[in-house]
Structure 1
Amino acid sequence: MSNSYYDMAQICRNGHVITSMAQSSPQSKQKFFSKCGEETVTACDSRGAPIRGYYHVPGVIAPLDYQKPAYCYNCGSPYSWTVKGIEAASELADELEGLTDDEKAQLKNSLPDLVNNSARRTVAEIKFKKIMKKAGSQAIAAMKEILFNVVNETVKKSLFGG
C-alpha cells in the first residue's frame, strides 16, 4: 500500500470541514466558509504541516467518513477549532447556575482530557456527567452543542448517548 496517502483537508477556523480532499479536488476549496464567515485553513498554524484529510488507498472504494483532527499530527498543537471549543465550554461552565465554584473548576479542568483523548479521559467523562447532571438538561444541551465540534465519536456517545 505504498501508494496510499493522506489528502489535505480544508477546515474553517470554527471547525467546519470544507473538504477532506483539498489537494485532489481543489475546486471544492473556499477562502472563507459561507455559513459562518470564518477564514479557512489547510495547514497547522504552529508549524505549517498540512491538515490531514481523506486517506486514499488505490483500488479501494471507501465511504467518506472523515473526522477532522483536534491536534496537529506533526507538532501536537491544537487547531483553532479545538482551542475555541475548549474556551467556549469553559466560559459556559462559569455561567452555569446551581454549581459550586469547585464544581465549575472541576468541569473546566476536565475539558482538555475529554478533547485530547488522554489516559484521564474516563475520569474526565465521569466528572463531566456527574457535574452536568446537577447543572440540568438545558446546560447539557448547551455543552453538547459546543463539544460536538471538538470531541471524538467515542466521547460523544459516552457523554451524550448514541
Structure 2
Amino acid sequence: MSNFYARICDNGHVNITYRRVKGDERCPQCGAPLIDSCPQCGNLIKQWHYYGMVYLTPKNLKFERPDSCGACGAKFSWAQEAEEGAVIDK
C-alpha cells in the first residue's frame, strides 16, 4: 500500500508527498511551516491510499485546498489571512 499526504504551509502552498510532516519542516516554495493535520483537532487534511503499483505521482493527484478542517470546522491559517486581507483591501 502507498500513502500520500497533503501538506500545506501557512501561506497556502500545497505539497503532496509520501510522508507526513516531521518536526519543523518548511515549505519548499516560501519557507513557511508545513502542516498535514488540523492544529485544533489533529485530523489529517487529506490522505490517499493506493494498493499495488502506483502509476500516479503526487504531482498528478488532484487536490483542492480546504479553508477549514473537515472534522471540527476550524479555519486554517491561509484562509484566515485571506479573510483579513479582504477586509483591509475594502
Per-residue deviation, 1:57: 5.5
Q: What does residue 83 of structure 2 align with?
A: 86
Larger Rg: 1
Residue 32 (structure 2) pairs with residue 35 (structure 1): no
Aligned with 1:26 (options 19, 34, 53): 19
Write the distance in 2 (CA, Å) between the matches of 1:86 and 1:68: 15
**What TM-score, normalized by structure 1, do the two folds share?**
0.43
Q: Which residue identity lines up with residue 35 of structure 1 in the other structure?
A: Q
The answer to whether the Cα contact below 8 Å between 2:21 and 2:35 also exists between their aligned partners in 1 is no
* SS, match of residue 91 in structure 1: helix
Write the distance in 1 (CA, Å) between the matches of 2:27 and 2:71: 25
Aligned residue pairs total 84
Q: What does residue 52 of structure 1 align with?
A: 46
Per-residue deviation, 1:26: 2.3
Per-residue deviation, 1:77: 0.8
Write the distance in 2 (CA, Å) between the matches of 1:28 and 1:39: 10
The answer to whether the Cα contact below 8 Å between 2:7 and 2:34 also exists between their aligned partners in 1 is yes
Unaligned runs of 5+ in 2: none
Unaligned runs of 5+ in 1: 94-162
Per-residue deviation, 1:49: 1.1
Write the distance in 1 (CA, Å) between the matches of 2:4 and 2:82: 25
Q: What does residue 8 of structure 2 align with?
A: 11
Using a 3 Å threshold, how does the CA distance of structure 1 residues 58 and 12 change in structure 2: closer, same or farther? same
Residue 61 (structure 2) pairs with residue 68 (structure 1): no
Per-residue deviation, 1:79: 0.9
Query: RMSD across aligned C-alpha pairs, in angstroms?
Result: 2.9
Q: Which residue identity lines up with residue 89 of structure 2 in the other structure?
A: L
Structure 1 or 2: more helix by fraction: 1
Superposed CA offset, 1:4-37 (max 9, x none): xx84311101110021x4xxx1299881113222
Superposed CA offset, 1:50-77 (max 9, x none): 1114x44547967511111111111011
Structure 1 or 2: more strand by fraction: 2
**What TM-score, normalized by structure 2, do the two folds share?**
0.72
Identity of aligned residues (%): 30
The answer to whether the Cα contact below 8 Å between 2:7 and 2:20 also exists between their aligned partners in 1 is no
